[in-house]
Structure 1
Amino acid sequence: MADSKPPVVFILGPTASGKTGLAIDLVEQGNAEIVSVDSAMVYRGMDIGTAKPDAATLARAPHALIDIRDPADAYSAADFVADAKREIARIHAAGRLPLLTGGTSLYFRALEHGLSDMPGRDASVRAELTAEAERHGWAALHERLSALDPVAAARIHANDAQRIQRMLEIHKLTGERPSDLHARQNEQPLPWSLTKLVVAPDTRERLHRNIETRFATMMAEGFLSEVEKLHARPDLDLAQPAMRAVGYRQLWQALDGVFDLDEAVQRAVIASRQLAKRQLTWLRSLDQATWLVSDDDNITRRARRMMVDTISGG
C-alpha cells in the first residue's frame, strides 16, 4: 500500500562528492525542486568558497535557501528548520518533489528528528567562556566538554568554537549534559515519506583528490579576492559563524598574517578532509539510506528509480 504522506528526498554526501550535480541533473529530468541544506550557502557574497551554483545553473535549477542572509547575521538550525518546512510545503503545493541537498548534517538531523528544548543564549555565560578561551584556547574548553559530556564532545571538532561554546553554555545553564537533553527531545512523526540517497566516491583517496582539485579550482576562480572583500568589512571577523566556514577561516588568517597563503591553502584542504571524514562517519550511521557511487555513469538513472519508488510508495 502506498504511503499517503507527500514525498521528500534527501541527497546527502561528504563535501566534494558531487551531490549538488546529481540534484541538478534530477531537476532537469523530472518535476523536482532543490532546497539547499548548507550553513554557508545561506550567506550572500560567499559564492566561490561554498561552491555555490552560478547564475546560469540557478536559472536551470533554482535552489531555495541560498543568499538569504548577510554574513554578519546569525543563522541557526532552528531558522533552517522553519525555512525548510516552508519551502517543502511550497514545493508540494506546486505539485513538485522537494530535493534537499547539502553537507550540513546538523540541519538534516534537526529537520528529521526535531530540535531539543534547549535554553536560550546567555550573554554573560558566553562572555565568560570566550574570555576563558582567549586565555587557554578552545582546545582546552573542548577537553573540559569531553570530561563533562563525552558523547557531545565526540561530535565536535576541537577547533569548533561556536559549538563548544554552546555545549558548555547549555551545561552551565541547566546542569545537565547536552547529549542527555538531545536524547530526551520530543520527536514527532515526520509528515513526509522520506528517501535518503547518499552520494560518495568509491574510495577515500578519490574523495581526497576531489577535495584538492576543487579547492585549486576555487583559488583559480578568485576565492582569495572573495575573502579579501569580506575581510575588508569592519563588521566581520572570525567571531561570526559565517567566517569560520572551512576555507574562509584559513584564508582570513592568511590575510591577518597568521600563515602565508600556501600554508593557509594546505590547512584549508586538510580541514576539508577532516570535515568529509566527520560527514562520512555520520552518514554511515543513517538508517534506511541508499548509497550511490558518485563516479557511477548510471547514478542519475539509479537515483531517479529511487525517486519513483518514493513517489509511488514502492
Structure 2
Amino acid sequence: MSKGKSPVKAVALIAGPTASGKSDLAVGLALALEERGRRCVVINADSAQVYRDLRVLSARPTEADMRGIEHRLFGEWDGAEPCSAADWAARAKREIEDAQLAGLLPILAGGTGLYIRTLLDGIAPVPRIDPSVREAVRALPVEDAYAALEAEDSERAAALNASDTTRIARALEVVRSTGKPLTHWQHRRVGGIGEAVELHPLILLPSRETLYARCDARFERMLENGAITEVETLLARNLDPALPVMRAIGVPEIAGYLRGDWPREEALARGRQATRNYAKRQYTWFRRQPPQDWPRCESESCDISAYFETLF
C-alpha cells in the first residue's frame, strides 16, 4: 500500500471469484466503518452486474442485501449497450472521485479482474482500428486467424488458446492496423488511478470445493427465483447474440431450454458447469495476477477487522 496520502484518497477493494461473498463482505465492511463515523459507498466491479437486464442471473444485490448502504454502478447499462473495461473504468473513476469529494470511502466489490486492472493500471492507448482491417480479420475462420497471428505476432499467439476467437481477432487486427503488436501498446498504459489512491485490497479465495458448491446452489436458486422469465424477456428484445449480455452465464443455457433444445434439468446442469468453469478461471486469475503483497483470505469466512485495520 502506498503511504503518506490523505485518508480521503483511500479506496477499499474486495475481489474474488463468483459466489465468494464479495458483496456481503463489502456491506459488512461499510456497516462496521459507519458505526465508527465513516460513511461508505459500494461500487460494482462485476461485468455482469452492470447490466440492468441481468438482475437475477448476475446475483445483483437486492435492497435487503444492501442493508442501507449506497451502491453504485449496479444495473447501470442497458443490455443493448456493451460495457467494455474502459467504459466501466471511466465511470468507476468518476464515482470514486465523487465519493471522495463527498467524504465517502469507496469500496470496490467484484470479480472482473480486467475491470479492476484497467481502473488501477490504465488502458493501452491502441489507435482506432481501420474498419476494413477489422472486417477482414473478423471474417477469417479462427484456424486461419490463429495461423496469421503466429506469423505476425508470435509472442501473442503463444499466449493464447488456438480456439479463443475474440482474443485472436483482437491481437491480429491490432498488429495489422497499427503495425505494432498488442504488447507494444499494453506496455504504455495510461489513465490508471493506482498511483493516486491509497489502496486497501483483499482477495477472497475460499476452498475450491466450497466455491463450486456455492456456484451449484446459486444457479439452482436463480432458476427458482425468476431467471427463466428474465431470459424470456431478454430474448424478446431480439438483441445481437454477440452482445455480452446475451453471452452471460445462464443466458445461453436457459435460452436452449426455452427453445426446446434440452430439458430444464440439462439447463440446470449446463448452467452449473458454466458457473464453475467461470469461477475456476477467476480463481486462477486472482491467485496469480494481483500483486503478491495483496492480502488473500483463503478461509470460509473473513474477519474484516484483521484485513482492514488501517481503515478502522
User: Shorter-chain-normalised TM-score: which range?
Assistant: 0.7 to 0.9
Distance 2:173 2:94 in 1: 30
Superposition pairs of residues 225-236 of structure 1, within 5 angstroms: 225-234=229-238, 236=239
Q: What is the aligned counterpart of 1:131 among 110, 125, 139?
A: 139
Residue 292 of structure 1: aligned partner: 297
Distance 1:2 1:123, change over 3 A: closer
The answer to whether the 8 Å contact 1:42/1:65 transfers is: yes
* Equivalent-residue separation in structure 2 for 1:266 and 1:145 (angstroms): 36
Distance 2:282 2:23 in 1: 15
2:85 aligns with: 77
Larger relative contact order (Cα-Cα within 8 Å, sequence gap ≥ 6): 1
Tell me whether 1:114 sits opposite 2:115 in the alignment: no
Give the 3 Å change call, closer, same or farther, for CA 100–140 of structure 1 in structure 2. farther
1:212 matched to which residue of 2? 216
Query: What is the letter of the counterpart of residue 292 of structure 1?
Result: C
* Distance in 1 separating the partners of 2:262 and 2:85: 32
The equivalent position to 1:35 in structure 2, one of 40, 43, 50, is 43
Determine the C-alpha separation between the residues in 2 that align with 1:139 and 1:62: 47
Name the counterpart of 1:271.
Answer: 274
Instruction: Determine what percentage of the aligned residue pairs are the same residue.
Output: 35
Letter in 2 for 1:29: A
Partner residue of 1:245? Answer: 248
Contact 2:160 2:167 in 1 (8 A): no
Match for 1:289: what amino acid? Answer: W
Contact 2:43-2:109 at 8 Å conserved across structures: yes
Contact 2:44 2:71 in 1 (8 A): yes
Q: 1:151 to 1:127 in 2, by over 3 A?
A: closer
Shift of 1:128: 3.0
- Do the aligned residues in 2 keep the contact of 1:146 with 1:154 (CA within 8 Å)? no
Cα distance, 1:144 vs structure 2: 5.9
Query: Secondary structure at the residue paired with 2:201?
Result: strand
Counterpart in the other structure of 2:36: none
TM-score, with length taken from structure 1: 0.84
Counterpart position of 2:73: 65
Unaligned runs of 5+ in 2: 34-38
Aligned residues of 2:14 and 2:107 also touching (Cα < 8 A) = yes
Contact 2:19 2:215 in 1 (8 A): yes
Letter in 2 for 1:307: F
Please give the secondary structure, in 2, of the residue aligned with 1:17. Answer: coil
Query: What aligned pairs does 1:37-56 form with structure 2 within 5 A after superposition?
Result: 37-56=45-64
Is 1:195 aligned with 2:200? yes
2:17 maps to 1:9? no
TM-score relative to the length of structure 2:
0.85
Change beyond 3 A, Cα 1:59–1:124 = farther
